Structure 1
């Protein structure tokens, strides 16, 4: 029975970052990825998606992303870079391999997949959130006869030409999809609160640096800029600027409930829509870890990335609860490096 020192579940930016630091050790590792090719969840994003930081701020550990044709890299450029990154470092990856569940047997992780069973001494779950899209509960949702899709399933605006479309969600995905769909359809934008747009000359690189300084307590509030510092601020890439010029970045607060042909507002007026696009984010994908009995309130208690109840399990790339900015391309490297250091120390103690 083959037993790996480490198995990584997930071949996106988090999983690859872990693999990068593991390859510098002497540990025997395997990365299991459910995709047919390199790219992780980026393969399922919409066609026109653009990153909101320049290429040098959209790079994984060890090798900078080549300069993109325009200021902000496209989805295709990033996927191409990730594919080249894998080839450059020759990671030990098995795909397509879907992990169904993880159990603990006689001190080892037993990982059941569609291609067989794998065993490891330690485990890194880096499945992120893309497989678990979140749609808020709305009264009479089932009564609506129009189309409803999540941004996870949106590819382009072709299916919405000439229609009336409600776009729900105030982050970068909501703004970018609104900008695209509004060119071919009548749109209305729903956000919980007024969207927060960054100034035109500030993008993800500044946002990440400023947020990091704030997180580390090194930002002088007296000298702080006028806009709030948040990784959820909307970056004014070209398509969003164009939408502003067309005056479509006008958001309204949530409606009361659905009815058969559309939505009902708080003043009881009805408005028909043909479709709703939910740009409402994602939740942690942890279903495969439920047999371990450590998932509580849809999360796993951790200290940094290490599980408190299962100390040979690490979770990387799920958001700030598993390392500050760990769900970002630029930020995950810091948590990956620390995670591999902890794994190496844990296995060293076990051997000794």
Structure 2
């Protein structure tokens, strides 16, 4: 079988397969680390980027982030962590880098024909697609003609690039808030434009990371959580309109969480100016829906990404909402899996790890328990669980297929028990021990 991509999802998949002695190939177009390698061509990483979930709730099973890391590691620390994980489980030397997959095609026999950019063709019984959801920018159209520089946030690297400029950041997500605050260090002027209001969650509550604080509290019905935490945020910060932003038009947790402790400070200090949506653009003049205007040299669109799988999109369906059972198993195409293409409201790595374990367990059943393998194949075609966790997610394109982390984890565990799947992480190499250099090639050249 084949694993495509050596970011966090691909590494989790490789570890789960190796722990079960399932032969696999592993290819990566750049190097180990995925988007967290700021030097990889096309990476959306920027120098001020930090993990949004805390180190405590992130990491992999049996391989937590180091204690010496800060609560929210920066991108270089995360990259180091991923590469240490790959080394610890002897995954690194089994990854063939510099290989770009250009096509994955299902053959009448049920096998998958994989073509790479160098012209090679190999056949596999299964393919796990782990190429990530943040490589293909979603670029908005401006209402008019802008004569300055208009770029997506995936090209942003550091504030030095904006020194002395007048900058407009479009968006209300984590990257938009980060970049606006970072740009204010060097730019002459920074404006952030949000079409709607959002809930902003501080990174620490009572001195503890917000996700750690939330996990340690009592389990309450979702509507009670929304009310209590929403009131607490309002008491802590005041309404966003107090600082010139729009107030949320939805309940807490109904959109992707924005964890940021610095934007409100930047607004309070006047370092960042808030504006609503854009009405028109003419030359370098941007007019907003409240009638105010700003002269701008550079517009940065922090407007998200499309969950595109270009080499196999015809099998995944809608690029914003792939039809994957439990976000990982193709319902219609046996042997096709995806990890990391669906968003949820929590740290991603533990979910990547859990799905890697499920996929590997299912593939192990194909070898040792064909009846159970067939039962699951039939089960996933008809089982359509509610993974909302009682949350009425926003109707925007980003939230199509969005799932609640707790609901996803609970149902995933239920399915695992039903089919008797077990966690297997394999043996972790002792620090300082030599790495393995064996490599398994299971693809059949065509």
2:20 aligned with 1:25, yes or no?
yes
Which of the numbers 278, 282, 285 marks the counterpart of 2:305?
282
In structure 2, stretches of 5+ residues that fail to align are 38-42, 231-251, 375-446
Deviation, 1:231, is 7.2
Q: What are the Cα deviations for residues 79-135 of structure 1, in whole angstroms up to 9, with x where unaligned? A: 011111111111121102111111123321111112422321011111121211111
Equivalent of residue 38 in structure 1, options 26, 32, 38: 32
Q: 1:331 to 1:240 in 2, by over 3 A?
A: farther
Distance 1:135 1:300, change over 3 A: same
Deviations 1:251-310 (CA, angstroms, capped at 9, x unpaired):
3221113222232333666532100111111111211103x5552465432221111221
How large is the Cα RMSD of the aligned pairs? Answer: 2.9
Higher Cα Rg: structure 1 or 2?
A: 2
For these two proteins, the number of residue pairs brought into alignment is: 335
CA distance in 1 between counterparts of 2:214 and 2:36 reads 20
Secondary structure of the corresponding residue to residue 288 of structure 1: coil
**Does the CA contact (< 8 Å) of 2:204 and 2:210 recur in 1?**
no
Tell me, yes or no, if structure 1 residue 130 matches structure 2 residue 150.
no
Q: Pick one of 169, 172, 184 that aligns with 1:170.
A: 172
What TM-score comes out, normalization by structure 1 length?
A: 0.85
Instruction: Name the residue aligned to 1:160.
Output: 162
1:301 to 314, 323, 346: 323
1:113-162 deviations in Å (ceiling 9; x for gaps): 1242232101111112121111123323xx21211222211100112111
Tell me the equivalent position of 1:79: 79
Counterpart position of 1:205: 211
Calculate the TM-score normalised by the size of structure 2.
Answer: 0.68
CA distance 1:90–1:278, change in 2 (3 Å): same
Partners in 2 of 1:175 and 1:59 — Cα distance?
Answer: 24
How far residue 73 of structure 1 moved from its aligned partner, in angstroms, is 0.7
Distance in 2 (CA, whole Å) between partners of 1:33 and 1:173 is 25
The CA distance in 2 between the partners of 1:313 and 1:208, in whole Å, is 35
For residues 29 and 254 of structure 1, the distance between their equivalents in structure 2, rounded to whole angstroms, comes to 48
Mapping 1:99-138, distance limit 5 Å: 99-105=101-107, 106-115=109-118, 116-138=120-142
Match of 2:151 among 143, 149, 152: 149
Q: How far apart in 2 are the matches of 1:180 and 1:245? A: 15
Deviation at 1:319, TM superposition (A): 1.6
Q: Is residue 363 of structure 2 the alignment partner of residue 343 of structure 1?
A: yes
Assess if the C-alpha contact under 8 Å between 1:188 and 1:251 holds in 2: yes
